[in-house]
Amino acid sequence: MTFKQLASLLLLSSLIYSTAACSTVPIEEPKYTVIRSSDEIEIREYKSQLVAETTVTGNRKQAAGDGFRILADYIFGNNRASDKIAMTAPVSQSDKKQAISSAEKIAMTAPVSTAPASTESSDTEQNSHVVRFSMPEEYTIDTLPQPNNPAVIVRVISGRTMAAMKFSGYAREATVIKKKEKLREAVSDANLTLLGEIELAQYNPPWTPGPMRRNEVMVQVAK
Q: Rounded to 5 degrees, what angle do the CA atoms 171, 215, 51 make? A: 105
Round the average pLDDT of the chain to a whole number and report it.
80
Closest CA to 180 of 167, 169, 191, 192: 167
**pLDDT grade for 12, boundaries at 50, 70 and 90:** low
Asked if pLDDT for residue 105 goes beyond 80, the answer is no
pTM over 0.75: yes
Weakest-pLDDT range from 15-19, 126-130, 188-192, 216-220: 15-19
Q: Dump the DSSP string for 92-151.
A: EEEEGGG-----------S-EE---SSSS--TTS-EEEEEEEEPPTT--TTTSPPBSSTT
Say what the pLDDT of residue 104 is: 45
* Highest mean predicted confidence (pLDDT) among 43-57, 102-116, 126-140: 43-57
**pLDDT grade for 5, boundaries at 50, 70 and 90:** low
Weakest-pLDDT range from 28-32, 59-63, 195-199: 59-63
Q: How far apart, in whole angstroms, are the C-alpha atoms of residue 44 and residue 206?
A: 27
Helices 60-75 and 173-189 meet at what angle, rounded to 10?
90
CA 161 to chain centre: 16
Q: Dump the DSSP string for 37-59.
A: E-SS-EEEEEPPEEEEEEEEEES
Compute the average pLDDT of residues 80-108. 64
Say what the pLDDT of residue 98 is: 47
Q: What is the pLDDT of residues 149-192, one digit of tens each?
A: 999 999 999 999 999 999 999 988 899 889 999 999 999 999 99
User: CB-based burial of residue 29 (10 Å sphere; 0-12 exposed, 13-18 middle, 19+ buried)?
Assistant: middle
Q: What is the domain partition of the chain in residue ranges? A: 3-27+49-156, 160-221
Q: How far apart, in whole angstroms, are the C-alpha atoms of residue 141 and residue 123?
A: 34
186 backbone dihedrals φ, ψ, rounded to 5°: -65, -40
- Cβ atoms of residues 145 and 83 within 8 Å: yes
Chain length of the chain: 223
**pLDDT grade for 101, boundaries at 50, 70 and 90:** very low
Measured CA to CA in angstroms, residue 200 lies from 37, 93, 95, 168 at distances of 19, 7, 11, 12
Weakest-pLDDT range from 18-22, 117-121, 142-146, 148-152: 117-121
Say what the pLDDT of residue 119 is: 46
Bridge partners, 133 (sequence order): 52, 91
- Cβ atoms of residues 106 and 19 within 8 Å: no
Asked, as a colleague might, if the bond just before 147 is cis with ω within 30 of 0, I would say no
